[in-house]
Amino acid sequence: SKAKLFDENTDVKTSFKDVAGLEGAKEEVQEIVDFLKTPEKYTSLGGKIPKGALLVGPPGTGKTLLAKAVAGEAKVPFFSLSGSDFVEMFVGVGASRVRDLFKQAKEKSPSIIFIDEIDAIGRARGKNAMSGSNDERENTLNQLLTEMDGFGTNTNVIVIAATNRADILDKALMRAGRFDRQIFVDLPDIVERKEIFEVHLRPIKKAEDLDIDFLARQTPGFSGADIANVCNEAALIAARKGKKAVGKQDFLDAVDRIIGGLEKKNKIIT
């Protein structure tokens, strides 16, 4: 059986309502939604629709979620793949797999291609020369650049890529007509953390003593993914105790547990 190159989702349910905070980034990607929905409106005066946008920001801040929401809002198919899986799984055939991906996305256009961890493919060429040959990765990167350059102006496939290491990317990726738009997706501030809690508390049975402002204050430095985790953990902690609803103390215990996890992770990294 052949390993899967990419996921294809032709019925994306995610919308901007699922993405809390990130007002600036949402405004910027709203433009991509408009390009996908009414390309004629934008090309009527001779302008060209952009082919790529790069979402830049720390892990867990909602980059994948935002890209998916663009597809959901525009009601177009969402082709997604992870740069690191790609480089590991397709030794020797990376370039031809990239060709296949673009071929399918074009057949189903308007559509979105989402490449998570683009840095795994798009690291600056020539670096890491000591660790043996990087020809394979470079071939894959070159094919990606070729595909993006080869799009006709009215192909209507938009490539969204995400990274938390924009600094190591090959400058060729950022050239005009490629990923020439960078959109920053940062860790949430206290107000945004409150909004993210509100999203992830929706499915949870809440006890009377739950105070979202308090939770937002208790979680500086948490990403959206961390907050989603806290909500889930709190619900499991309360259920284990046989409670009927999830209360303040369950959340505090969950926050402690997530902080413990984060500290462990950081210890391994440093």
Least distance from C-beta 28 to ligand ATP, angstroms? Answer: 14
Site string for ligand ATP, 25-54 (x = CB under 6 A): ------------------------------
Closest by CA position to 10, among listed 63, 65, 62, 80:
80
Shortest Cβ distance from residue 154 to ligand ATP (Å)?
29
Strand blocks (E) in 133-223 = 157-163, 181-184
Q: For ligand ATP, which residue of 28, 73, 116, 147 counts as binding (CB under 6 A)?
A: 116
Task: Give per-residue burial for 88-127: e unless 16+ CB within 10 Å, then b.
Answer: ebbeeebbebbbebbebbbeebbbbbbbbbbbbbbbeeee
Does 230 contact ligand ATP by CB under 6 A?
A: no
For residues 64 and 156, which CB has a smaller minimum distance to ligand ATP in the complex? 64
From 107-115, 126-134, 222-230, 258-266, span contacting ligand ATP (CB under 6 A): 222-230
State yes or no: 63 annotated in a binding site. Answer: yes
* Cβ partners under 8 Å of residue 263, min gap 6: none
Parallel, antiparallel, or unpaired: how do β-strands 78-82 and 7-9 relate? Answer: antiparallel
**Is 81 near ligand ATP (CB under 6 A)?**
no
User: If you ran DSSP here, which 8-state letter would residue 251 be given?
Assistant: H
Answer for which of 121, 162, 173, 258 binds ligand ATP (CB under 6 A) is 162
Task: Report d(CA 197, CA 29) in Å as an integer.
Answer: 23
Q: Which one of residues 124, 207, 225, 252 is an interface residue with ligand ATP (CB under 6 A)?
A: 225
Strands in 7-9's sheet, in edge-to-edge order, are 7-9, 78-82, 111-116, 157-163, 52-56, 181-184
Out of 12, 22, 29, 81, which residue is the one contacting ligand ATP (CB under 6 A)? 22
Task: Using the minimum distance from each CB to ligand ATP, give the nearer residue, 27 or 149.
Answer: 27
Determine whether the annotation assigns residue 92 to a binding site: no
In angstroms, rounded to a whole number, what is the distance separating the alpha carbons of residues 142 and 146? Answer: 6
Count of residues binding ligand ATP (CB under 6 A)? Answer: 19
Interface contacts to ligand ATP, rule CB under 6 A: 19-22, 59-65, 116, 162, 164, 196, 199, 224-225, 228
Q: Give binding residues for ATP as ranges.
A: 57-64
Q: Give binding residues as ranges.
A: 57-64
